[in-house]
Structure 1
């Protein structure tokens, strides 16, 4: 059967690897070992040959990948398990690290509770906390708490106790937070007091105790402690104390209106006594904004921006002006022409000034955040007025006022960042001609330093899928006499030209980029990608093969290895398109040799096997691993459904394929698979309708391809 065949293949590969090792063909031996393990994962001892050999070949990243797998499968070496678990924790792979620490805990549970065991419990508690498992965290940290209170009982010397306490009593804080999350306010307070004993801070202790009292539903006592903290006029805890204050007041005053007013009054009182507290000022500004006290909110935001400007302060003040002006626009009848008062013109100018200060230097609207960006772009009437104001300030449209009498006209030094900001907004608002005009204005203002403007302009159009516009802009960049470093522009131009179906221009640009940076694999990969996009598959394959030959022996760069991984995945797809399935499988096997947990390669190889009725059980297992890692990935879900179909699990196939076909515009292949599964479960009408949908989708794909 399949499993016997896999074990036999693994044995042959391992034996061949041994032979190659004796012949000092170490790289080939490593590949055989890696593949032997993959065909028979139960043969864990093979991993003990892989890790040292990979290290000997200085393929360190590869060695670490297999060392982690070895640790998860072979629990005989506790110290190795600890090292790998610690490594995973450093890499912030918390769930995986936790799994190993749980294995160590299970092995050592019968041993005496000593310093080593307590240190393990501390790590477990931290990881439970980091993975939002408050109850489990509190439980294991409870033992650490007991040991720290009674060190003699557990044989802890002073040095060991201090080590368990952590720097500045950090362990007590972890235990306290864990207890607090688990609803154990009294225990949390005791731990906060222990942390205070190690690192005294009366003010901070008061805030922490207030939090525990809130947890115990004692708002009056909590407010007494919080008042001690607030009287110290410190901003060390950010806005957390003021959010706590709001919750406590709401516990005191059951009527929302009364609680809201009392909270505002308290914040005003605190801010008057401590006007330099940025966190307090920001929180008060947010409250005033929420209560539609816009003028008061703006004054507070302005005070923050006059000191040390923060992203939150910029987003706040921009939100105020967008909200106010959008309301004015909404109140104006659509048929009437806008007549802005002097005050409203000032508001527009202030808004554009803040927008420019915040996003003009970044070259992106991302700093605004998703919600604020949507607020700006989704109101089309407001967006139109905003772009009109920007055009007026940049003198891009006729104004009723002479330029020297129009205070809105930007000064020369302000034009470039203002025009870039306007261009960014226009692109996101899909106002392509306006965007080009704004960026052209920025380019004019940049004079002899055009690189930044052209890069932002070209990238924005590329990301907006305006490929021809992007290519035109990037062509300007590569031809501009005042730009010296043109490598990135040629690289981007190759991509934009390819997407605009200008293949010859794309290839020329990609080769120019290679000439400027002949030693960078990612630059080299662009030529193959252009051929692939143009469906010139033989040339694409030739170039990707040459890329692997040229850089395949370089293991000192993770980026190089990633480029080669992508090249092999693309080569596999190229072979599928040419019906060379054995070659396609081999390229995926090579990816998995080096990256044994690459879920994309697992899914693709599993699907190829399943579709050919090969290695059905192992293919299903690989696809299931991919789905577990990315449950929302439609392609992986389709593969899983098709695997169940091939194995005769038709009801399960329907279940998985229905999930895959849940997309608003499902792929024709997915629909075809679902129709087959319906047919096998005798849901004939569903099968007929689904096959018809598959045909319709296939026809639409053909039309789109022609376009």
Structure 2
């Protein structure tokens, strides 16, 4: 028996339809255009063969991702059969795929004017409105669906999730309670209400709703959620009992075993965690991952030899880069540097651990006083195999190594090479600015940091650098204050940025504000001599010499004996003390 080739079906049907005299219009997108005409009294005969032909044409084009062609075909199909809702529902979906969301919304609204009880289309409209950030309009669509279909929960469930995402927990709870008032055994409503209470930290209410949901439908996943509530309340015994209940019913439930291990670790019950890990290893499909966890736990207990033995045995069965990297770390921690290097060199460029493996090799070689070999490792990582495994961080470290050796020019070349390969990497550019600062090129560093800010206006550290530099030079003080305030907004817990804020206030003569900023800075960064020095300067300006001296003494205690700042600050302290006690 002969078969038709699929591609011949469309022209064949087209020929048959031409013979039948079907000549559909080529109108643009007008939702239910023919339906609207029919509603206006312009009755048209339905041509099912014509409609089906264009539907097949549209479907074929849609599957081929020729969305414009599919859209035109579906429109023509609707002209042939205005009542074909299954075709009508295709059009807004296609408009969405074509990035014409605004038209999809308009189409659906017109369609719903003609078909107000079409719940599927109304739900689709709500979904599109949510994507477009029109949340209140979406909520209204869900309300309409629920009003039309009061026995269906879906619209109110989606409405509650929408309200929750809009940070309207009261409205979300009300929507769920509406469902439960009609159907007290609505499992999804109880679960969503429990999660809502959990997000509000109303743990007892959450547990009550979870309990109701469990009575309707027992679920291991739900028990895991309940256990999480117990963990948040630090009711570890209840959490353990819940995990044991899951394991009793399903001994191979890996999630429960892993969760149980985590509870034991939270309580520092390492031996219990090890016992549970060994039970997990017996049932899991991924014993090598469990080996990693067991090895990490032994390392935490400082039982390095046990940890190393487990990792070596695991590598015999499965050559995992994560395992090899952890083994190298343990060799490093136990000062078995040569063995660590052997393992690190076996980690390939395709591995996620490759970059860290290179950095650890560099660190080990520096520990071994082999700086040239460290440089060689980095140069090879950067230049070999077309840059596979290479990263911007490698150029930063390379420049740093050259700088330590006093080879500033080679450090500069390292950054030049890196920036040529990664011209859009803001972190690399920022690191270059810091490099210039440390080699005594503050003006060039300032220029680079301004480039960073231009490219990334929310880079707090660059904003701080530029603002502090201007304040230190007593230039652009108002702009410096603006930069540093932006940095504070981005990093409010950063003591060094708070110090910069205090310093620019000091330069502006706003000493009360400077004092407030610096007192917070020393709380956030209590071991920084520069901040205490700045605090002393402000206190001195305010006439509080005794407090200023205390701040200076604290700064001196934080500076190393060879630090030039220590000698200068001590001289200042001696002068002040002589003035206090002539």
User: Normalized against structure 2, the TM-score is what?
Assistant: 0.59
How far the C-alpha of 1:544 sits from its partner, in A, is 3.8
2:509 maps to 1:642: no
Partners of 1:227 and 1:518 in 2: CA distance: 64
Secondary structure of the structure 1 residue equivalent to 2:492: coil
CA deviation digits over 1:188-220, x for unaligned, max 9?
A: 986532254799981324656899998588998
CA deviation digits over 1:118-150, x for unaligned, max 9?
A: xxxxxxxxxxxxxxxxxxxxxxxxxxxxx99xx
2:470 maps to 1:609: yes
How far the C-alpha of 1:686 sits from its partner, in A, is 1.3
Equivalence for 2:67:
none
Partners of 1:448 and 1:227 in 2: CA distance: 54
Equivalence for 2:312:
443
Partners of 2:551 and 2:125 in 1: CA distance: 64
Aligned length: 436
User: Normalized against structure 1, the TM-score is what?
Assistant: 0.50
Equivalence for 1:270:
216
* Aligned 1:528-547 pairs, distance under 5 A: 529=397, 532=400, 536=404, 538-539=406-407, 541-547=408-414
Higher RCO (C-alpha 8 Å, min separation 6): 1
How far the C-alpha of 1:612 sits from its partner, in A, is 2.0
Please point out which of 154, 159, 169 is paired with 2:126. 169
* Aligned 1:53-92 pairs, distance under 5 A: none
Equivalence for 1:514:
382
CA deviation digits over 1:42-70, x for unaligned, max 9?
A: xxxxxxxxxxxxxxxxxxxxxxxxxxxxx
Partners of 1:314 and 1:390 in 2: CA distance: 7
Partners of 2:160 and 2:356 in 1: CA distance: 57
When the two chains are superposed, the root-mean-square deviation of aligned CA atoms in Å is: 5.3
Partners of 1:421 and 1:201 in 2: CA distance: 50
* Aligned 1:182-193 pairs, distance under 5 A: 192-193=142-143
Secondary structure of the structure 2 residue equivalent to 1:699: coil
Partners of 1:288 and 1:242 in 2: CA distance: 13
* Structure 1 unaligned residues grouped into runs of 5+: 1-146, 180-186, 323-372, 394-406, 703-707
Equivalence for 2:326:
457
Equivalence for 1:4:
none
Partners of 1:553 and 1:287 in 2: CA distance: 51
How far the C-alpha of 1:682 sits from its partner, in A, is 1.1
Equivalence for 2:296:
424
Please point out which of 144, 167, 179 is paired with 1:194. 144
Equivalence for 2:484:
623
Instruction: Tell me if the contact between 1:510 and 1:526 (Cα under 8 Å) persists in the aligned partners.
Output: yes
Please point out which of 332, 338, 343 is paired with 1:477. 343
Instruction: Tell me if the contact between 1:588 and 1:605 (Cα under 8 Å) persists in the aligned partners.
Output: yes
CA deviation digits over 1:579-609, x for unaligned, max 9?
A: x433332333443454455332221122122
Q: Which structure is larger by alpha-carbon Rg, 1 or 2?
A: 2
Partners of 1:193 and 1:649 in 2: CA distance: 56
How far the C-alpha of 1:675 sits from its partner, in A, is 0.7
Instruction: Tell me if the contact between 1:176 and 1:191 (Cα under 8 Å) persists in the aligned partners.
Output: no
Equivalence for 2:245:
299
CA deviation digits over 1:253-299, x for unaligned, max 9?
A: xxx8xx9998687455323xxx4x45545456668996849556523
Instruction: Tell me if the contact between 2:228 and 2:239 (Cα under 8 Å) persists in the aligned partners.
Output: no
How far the C-alpha of 1:656 sits from its partner, in A, is 0.8
Shift of the 496–384 alpha-carbon distance from structure 1 to 2, 3 Å rule, reads farther
* Aligned 1:622-701 pairs, distance under 5 A: 622-663=483-524, 665-699=526-560
